Amino acid sequence: MAGAGRAIACVAALVAAALVLFLAFRGHGGTHPPAAAGREPAGLGGTSPAPAAPSGTAASAEHADPLSGAAAAYAASRSGSVLAAVYDVSTGQSWRLGDGPAQPAASVVKLDILETLLAQQGGTTLSAGDQSLSESMIEDSDNDAATNLWHEAGGAAGIGAYNDSAGLSGTTPSACVTCAGFAWPGWGLTTTVPQDQLALLKQLIAPGPRPLLSDAQRSYVLSLMEKVAPGQRWGVSGGVPAGVTVALKNGWLPLNDANTNWQINSVGWVSGDGRDYLVAVFTTGNPTEQYGIDTINALSSRIWTAMRFRPGAATCADERPVMLSADRNRGII
């Protein structure tokens, strides 16, 4: 009887929601309300309020913080320092974990290099040579390709100018490419914070009313990030099942000659199975490369789980969520 009561209550809720949607859509002449031309990116400090729901749809409830609870407890249990930030594309909410100083970007800076170079093209495509270098830089994380494109983009000055336009406030491009006492390309010593990496990812996914890249350019970057080499598909893809879109760029860098202090980073976009979010995780002080990879994999898996239900879902006890909004047709079925 208890199960029947829950089922009846759930059906009643769905009928009521359907009636609201029907009446609302009638008020719009039987069509969906027009999409907004764009919105300003939400702030990154703490949780941002959800934007007002379009007329004629059920209001989206704010999502619970995916970086609290299990995620925060796990991060606290790991050696070194863990910083993370998440942005929910559907609600405009953002969260962050950790308040430490900026960390070396390692190869994650390659996304910044490519966005800078594309923005300098004024909406046009890259040359065939630069496209080849870009593919090697993002898909294979090739360092020589990155060095060539770093210089072509104007080095630290060019990267910094683009970052200012994109709203990055905690990122400092490296002043050297060949740095004294450092065996690796110096652009990897660019320091940054996760929330700045979200700002770069937003230029690809949710750029707002004043995008710095064209639609074609954004699609191009994402296509490369979705095709990184199989051995580099760890990180923010942790716990994400097959069939879900993941576009990512990772970075890994030994910070001392003994290889006992590793910088391991991962940034990207995850979309599918009722989720749509941007995420950036930075870790330093890892005793081995694999330790840092394991940390990000496990933390990302907890984030994926915490982002389980999209806002706007009506749930009944012991029942699967049923989406009340037709938003982008990506609800759980």
Mean pLDDT, range 301-308, rounded to an integer: 96
Please report the pLDDT score of residue 9 as a whole number. Answer: 46
Mean pLDDT, range 59-83, rounded to an integer: 91
pLDDT above 90 (res 62) = no
**Top-confidence residue, 56 or 265:** 265
pLDDT above 80 (res 312) = no
Please report the pLDDT score of residue 124 as a whole number. Answer: 87
**Top-confidence residue, 72 or 47:** 72
Mean pLDDT, range 50-59, rounded to an integer: 33
pLDDT in tens, 77-127: 999 999 999 999 999 999 999 999 999 999 999 999 999 999 999 888 899
pLDDT above 60 (res 59) = no
pLDDT in tens, 196-231: 999 999 999 999 999 999 999 999 999 999 999 999
Please report the pLDDT score of residue 224 as a whole number. Answer: 98
SS (HEC) of the chain? CHHHHHHHHHHHHHHHHHHHHHHHHHHCCCCCCCCCCCCCCCCCCCCCCCCCCCCCCCCCCCCCCCCCCHHHHHHHHCCCEEEEEEEECCCCCEEEECCCCCEECHHHHHHHHHHHHHHCCCCCCCCHHHHHHHHHHHHCCCHHHHHHHHHHCCHHHHHHHHHHHHCCCCCECCCCCCCCCCCCCHHHHCEECHHHHHHHHHHHHCCCCCCCCCHHHHHHHHHHHCCCCHHHCCCCCCCCCCCCEEEEEEEEEECCCCCCCEEEEEEEEEEECCEEEEEEEEEEEECCHHHHHHHHHHHHHHHHHHCCCCCCEECCCCCCCEECCCHHHCCCC
pLDDT above 80 (res 330) = no
pLDDT above 90 (res 307) = yes
**Top-confidence residue, 17 or 211:** 211
Q: Which pLDDT band, with edges at 50, 70 and 90, does 63 fall under?
A: confident
pLDDT in tens, 158-187: 999 999 999 999 999 999 999 999 999 999
Please report the pLDDT score of residue 308 as a whole number. Answer: 86
Mean pLDDT value across the chain: 82
Mean pLDDT, range 25-47, rounded to an integer: 34
pLDDT in tens, 130-160: 999 999 999 999 999 999 999 999 999 999 9
Q: What percent of the chain has pLDDT over 70?
A: 74
Q: Lowest-pLDDT range, 39-43, 56-60, 113-117, 303-307?
A: 39-43
Mean pLDDT, range 225-252, rounded to an integer: 98
Q: Which pLDDT band, with edges at 50, 70 and 90, does 309 fall under?
A: low
